[in-house]
Amino acid sequence: MGFRILITGASGLLGRALYRCFSKEKTWTILGLVLTRAGDDLKMVDITKTDELFTVMQEFKPDVVVHAAAERRPDIVEN
């Protein structure tokens, strides 16, 4: 049995590359989280909402979490 890997920011530059790379390992189960660009293999979750994230963690039960999500709006980060 392989790893269960959860990747936040799976539609971003780093997250997308990691998702593709990890998906090649057929014994691993990968779940990609995205904020806006959901697809067949990606789940739309706002990771700033703890209740949403808690539900995903309880349901998926990852062995590994790769946090590749980032805030890309500098004005939001500065405030």
Give mean pLDDT in consecutive 10-residue pieces for the chain, a chain of 79 residues.
Answer: 93 94 95 85 92 96 95 65
pLDDT at position 79 is 56
| Global pTM value | 0.86
Contacts of 16 (CB under 8 A, 6+ apart): 10
What is residue 30's predicted lDDT score, i.e. its pLDDT?
96
